[in-house]
Structure 1
Amino acid sequence: MKFKAFLTLDGVHLLDKRFLPALDKLGRICHVYLTPDHAMFLHNLLGGGGVQSVAQFDKDVLFRDYRISSQNAGRIAFAVDAALLHRALRSALTIQEQARDETAAIQIKLVKKLPAGSRNPAPFLTFETKGRVSAVVQDVPISKPLSRSDVLQIQSALDASQDLPQTLVQVPDLAQLQSLVDRLKYVGDVLTVSIAQYGDLHLQVSTSLVTVGSELRKLRVLGVRADPPIGDQNLSALARTELAIQRGGALSVQVSLKHLARSLHCHLAKPDCAFYGIAPQGACLTVIFQFFIRGTRLSDKSISFYCRLPVLDPGSN
C-alpha cells in the first residue's frame, strides 16, 4: 500500500483557506479516501449517526505526480484528526515560504515509523517540504488503513448518496440562514424543514409553549418544480406549507437543529451556491454546495461538497 504526491498551489490554498477549516467544524475525526482518480474527505459514512459529509476533488486539483497503489484496486482510506492535518499543512506552508526557494515543494505520503517509546511501527501521513539544500518533515498520526470490507462500505455509501432529491431550492445567503438558525437554537432542539416545488423553504421550531418559524420564498428551483398555487397568497406560511404537502407538492422532515447548525459551517469552504432538498420518502435532508470555475458562472465539476442530515422520528420532539 503506497501513496505519495506533491501538493499543487491551488490544492494548498483550497485545503488551507477553505476546506480544512470547514471539515474541522463538521467533526474532529474524518476519513481520507484516496482512489486512482479522486481524493475525498468524509464524515460519518461508516456510521455514527451525525451529519454525513463528502468533499471530493479530482486528484489533479490537489496533487501533481500522484502515485497510489494498493491491493484494493488502488484505493486507500484512513481516519485522521482534521485539526492536526490542518496544523501540519500550515506549518509546511510556513516553512516553504520562509525557505525563499522557488523550487521548494510540499510532498505528502503514507509512511510507517516507530513512535518514540514504542516497539511497533505506526502509520503516519508525512508532509515533507523539499528545497534545493534542505527538507523538513512533519508526521501526522493516522489510523491503520481501513480493511477491504470497510473501503467497500464507504464506496457503497458514496454510490447510494449519488441520488439527488427531486427538488432542490437555492439558498442565496448562507450567513442569513446561519443567523436564523442561531436564533432558533434558543427555542428548541428539533427543526421542521419543508421544501415546496414552487421554491419555498419553511423552517419551524415548536415547543409546548411556542412555535417560531421563518420562510424563504420564490427561491430558485432545480429539478421537479411547480407553479405557485393560485389563491394561497393570503394564507399563512404554515397553512401554505401544509396544503402543499397535502397536494404532493412539498416534503417535510424533522432534523436536529444542532446538525443543521453544524452543516452551515461548510460556508467556510466558500461555496458559490448552496441547494437544499429532501430525499425521496424523507430519507434525509441534503445540502449541496456548488463551486464555479474562477472568473465564470460555470460549475466546477472537479470539486463537489455535500452534506446529508439524518431525519428524526416525528415523535422525538
Structure 2
Amino acid sequence: MKFKASFTDDGISLLDKRFLPAIDKVGRVCHVYLTPTHAMLLHNLLGSTGPEGDGPQCVAQFAKDLLFREYNVSSRDGNRVAFSVDVALLHRAIRSALAVHAQSPADGDAPAAIQVKLVNKQTPGSRSAAPFLTFETKGARSAVVQDVPISKPLSRSDVARLQDALDAAQELPETLVQVPDLQQLQNLVDRLKNIGDLLSVTVTQYGDLHLQVSTSLVTVGSEFKRLRILGARANAPVVDQNVSATIRMEMAVERGEALSVQVSMKHLVKSLQCHLAKPDCTFYVLLPMVLA
C-alpha cells in the first residue's frame, strides 16, 4: 500500500488551528482513514484507539481536494488505507512543518508544498522496519524531514469494520435540533458537572433541548426552547404553564415526540470540545441509548 500527498495551505491550516486541537481534547489516539475521495480522522469508532473504549466517538471527514493539492493512495483493498496515530505527535509534526514552511525563500518564489507520505524505516537499534507518516518541508534556510510513528496499517477485515462503524456513526435520525451557542452550552455543562456524574438529555420534535442532573439532594436543569429543527417535527401542545419542564419532557416522550437518554458527564464534556473546530453550526440528535 502507498500514500503520498501535498497539503494545500488552507487544508493544513484547518488541521492545525481547528480539528487536531479538538480531537486531541477528545482522545489521545485516532485512526487516519484514507480513501480515493476522502481523508478522515476517526476516534473510538472501533473502541480500540484509546483507553476510553466506551467514550465519545469523533468523525472528521474532508474531501481530498480540500486538504491536498496532489493526492495518491493505493492498496489492494479498493485503494483504502487506515492506521492509528498519536494525535499530539501528529499535531506537533504539522506545527513544525508550518514553521519551516513559513520561512520566505531567498529568491522570492513561493515555498514548496508540505509533503506527507507513508514509509517503512528501520530505526537504530531495531531489527525490522516500522511504519511512519513522514513529513517533508523545505524553507529558505532549512529542509526538515519528520517521522511520526504509526500503527501497522489495518488489515482488510479491520478496514471493513472501520467502514461499517463509520457508516453507522453517520446515520441520522428523524429529528435534529440546532444548538444556538455551543460555548453557552459548554459553560452550562461545566457548571452541572460539579453536581453529578450523569446527565439526562431530552430532545423534542418541537425544538426543545432539556438538560438535567439529579442527586438524592438536588435536581438542577436547563432548557433551550424553540430551537431550529431539521427533519421530523411536531407542534408543541398547549399545556398549563405551571407544569414543570421535567413533566413536559416526560409527556413528550410518552407521545413519541421526544427521546431521552442519560449520558456520562465526563464524555459529554469531551464531546463539547468540538467548539475548538469553530463549526458554522452544531446539531444535537438522540438515538435510542446513544447521544450523537
Q: Same fold (TM over 0.5)?
A: yes
**Preserved CA contact (<8 Å) 2:37 2:63:** yes
Equivalent position of 2:103 in the other structure: 98
Equivalent position of 1:314 in the other structure: none
Q: Distance in 2 between matches of 1:283 and 1:194?
A: 12
Q: What per-residue deviation string (whole Å, max 9, x for no partner) do you get for residues 97-144 of structure 1?
A: 125351322000000111121121111001101368963201111011
Q: Distance in 2 between matches of 1:99 and 1:119?
A: 40
**Preserved CA contact (<8 Å) 1:232 1:240:** no
Q: Distance in 1 between matches of 2:261 and 2:35?
A: 34
In the TM superposition, what are the counterparts of 1:121-136 in structure 2 within 5 Å?
121-130=129-138, 135-136=143-144
Q: Distance in 2 between matches of 1:192 and 1:233?
A: 22
User: Structure 1 residue 239: deviation in Å?
Assistant: 1.2
Which of 222, 225, 230 is matched with 1:217 structurally?
A: 225
Which of 178, 183, 197 is matched with 1:175 structurally?
A: 183
**Residues matched between the structures, number:** 284
Equivalent position of 1:295 in the other structure: none
Q: Distance in 2 between matches of 1:138 and 1:85?
A: 10
> Could you tell me the TM-score, scaled by structure 1's length?
0.87
**Preserved CA contact (<8 Å) 2:83 2:153:** yes
Specify the SS of the correspondent of 2:285.
strand
Equivalent position of 1:312 in the other structure: none
User: Structure 1 residue 162: deviation in Å?
Assistant: 2.9
**Preserved CA contact (<8 Å) 1:92 1:128:** yes
Q: What per-residue deviation string (whole Å, max 9, x for no partner) do you get for residues 222-254 of structure 1?
A: 111111111243321111111111111111001
Q: Distance in 2 between matches of 1:121 and 1:275?
A: 44
> Could you tell me the TM-score, scaled by structure 2's length?
0.94
Instruction: Tell me the amino acid that sits aligned with residue 242 of structure 1.
Output: E
Structure 1: 5+ residue runs without aligned partners? 287-317
**Preserved CA contact (<8 Å) 2:102 2:139:** no
User: Are 2:31 and 1:31 aligned?
Assistant: yes
Specify the SS of the correspondent of 2:114.
strand
Which of 145, 151, 160 is matched with 1:137 structurally?
A: 145
Equivalent position of 1:50 in the other structure: 55
Instruction: Tell me the amino acid that sits aligned with residue 42 of structure 1.
Output: L
**Preserved CA contact (<8 Å) 1:104 1:132:** no
User: Are 2:204 and 1:203 aligned?
Assistant: no
Specify the SS of the correspondent of 2:20.
helix
**Preserved CA contact (<8 Å) 2:100 2:143:** no
Q: Distance in 1 between matches of 2:255 and 2:160?
A: 40
Instruction: Tell me the amino acid that sits aligned with residue 285 of structure 1.
Output: L
Aligned alpha-carbon RMSD (Å): 1.4
